[in-house]
């Protein structure tokens, strides 16, 4: 019995090695830098992507401006899902991306939100009343949603009136957290953070009209580190497909 087991062990081992090699050739990991506003939809998309393609998505979430610095400093990201279109364009012009890979995967929507029911009215008049102590926004130098928030305040003539009340998050996730924890009565967030399947899921909100700020066009691009990774190319194609589009729309983005 022992001799028989020894005789078959090498062939079994060879089969296992061959099987592992086959799986590795057809399933890869892709390192993705993801704008914080896109956290919730990408978590859903990542699960579908892995199930449908076998590839695994490893995501880091943060502010677009911070990701730009990290990419320039050699961070191992292979795909970048930005919160704007200018940062990927800049990386493209600087030779840090795969030519022809950039495209707009979503158009974001800004919202003024409070965790309190009924606190924010449907027209955002609560901003003008100026009865709150703290207004949360994302860092406008690093986060496009923060920049959009400053543009709305400027259009309403409130920049100087509320400047001492602003609490600034490093990214849109932190801006949301300031409001959700009660450290700010209200704040500008990405609609996707508070919206699912056609409705605001918690608290109260004003969906800011798109003509009150620059369009929040969110571009994706394959970075140079991902040019030879099949999973990077597969992810970009998957984001353009109908299954991902349905998820993106369900979180309040336009395509």
Residues 122-140: tens digit of each pLDDT: 999 999 999 999 999 999 9
Both 201 and 119 in one domain: the answer is: yes
Please state the three-class secondary structure of 91-124 as a single string.
HHHCCCECCCCCEEEEEECEEEEECCCCCCCCCC
Which three-class secondary structure state does DSSP give residue 121?
Answer: coil
State the pLDDT confidence band at 121, using cuts at 50, 70 and 90.
very high
Q: Which CATH number goes with the domain that contains 135? A: 3.40.190.10
pLDDT in tens, 134-188: 999 999 998 999 999 999 999 999 999 999 999 999 999 999 999 999 999 999 9
Percentage, residues of the chain above pLDDT 70? 90
Look up the domain containing 228 and give its range: 27-107+216-250
Cα–Cα distance, 57 to 43 (Å, whole number): 9
Residue 177 falls inside a structural domain: yes
Both 92 and 122 in one domain: the answer is: no
Residue 37 falls inside a structural domain: yes
Residue 22 falls inside a structural domain: no
Both 161 and 137 in one domain: the answer is: yes
What DSSP designation does 117 have?
A: T
Percentage, residues of the chain above pLDDT 90? 88
Residue 13 falls inside a structural domain: no
Q: Closest by alpha carbon to 224, among 15, 80, 107?
A: 80
For the chain, how many structural domains are there in total?
Answer: 2
Beta bridge pairs of residue 110: 190
- Inter-axis angle of helices 64-72 and 86-93, nearest 10: 10
Please report, for residues 16, 43, 149, 151, 201, the alpha-carbon distance to residue 114 in angstroms, rounded to integers and kept in the order given: 55, 24, 15, 20, 12
Both 183 and 195 in one domain: the answer is: yes
Write down the pLDDT at residue 92: 98
pTM for this predicted structure: 0.81
Write down the pLDDT at residue 27: 73
Beta bridge pairs of residue 81: 34, 220
Both 188 and 125 in one domain: the answer is: yes
Q: Has residue 24 got a pLDDT over 90? A: no
């Amino acid at each position: 019995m022992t001799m028989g087991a020894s005789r078959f062990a090498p062939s079994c081992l060879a089969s296992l090695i061959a099987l592992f090699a086959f799986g590795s050739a057809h399933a890869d990991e892709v390192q993705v830098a993801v704008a914080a506003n896109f956290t919730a939809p990408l978590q859903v998309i990542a699960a579908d992507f892995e199930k449908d393609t076998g590839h695994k998505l490893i995501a880091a979430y943060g502010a677009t401006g911070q990701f730009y610095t990290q990419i320039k400093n050699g961070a191992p990201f292979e795909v970048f899902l930005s919160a704007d279109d200018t940062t990927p364009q800049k990386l493209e012009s600087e030779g840090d991306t795969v030519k022809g890979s950039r495209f707009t995967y979503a158009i974001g929507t800004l919202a003024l939100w409070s965790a309190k029911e009924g606190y924010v009215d449907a027209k955002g008049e609560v901003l003008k009343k100026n009865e709150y102590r703290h207004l949360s926004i994302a860092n406008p130098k690093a986060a496009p949603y923060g920049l959009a928030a400053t543009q709305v305040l400027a259009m309403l003539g409130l920049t100087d009136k509320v400047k001492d009340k602003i609490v600034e998050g490093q990214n849109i996730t932190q801006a949301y957290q300031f409001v959700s924890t009660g450290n700010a009565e209200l704040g500008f967030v990405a609609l996707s953070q508070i919206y699912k399947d056609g409705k605001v899921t918690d608290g109260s909100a004003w969906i800011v009209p798109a003509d009150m700020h620059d369009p929040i066009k969110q571009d994706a691009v394959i970075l140079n580190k991902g040019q030879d990774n099949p999973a990077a190319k597969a992810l970009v194609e998957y984001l353009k497909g109908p299954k991902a589009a349905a998820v993106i729309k369900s979180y309040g983005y336009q395509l």
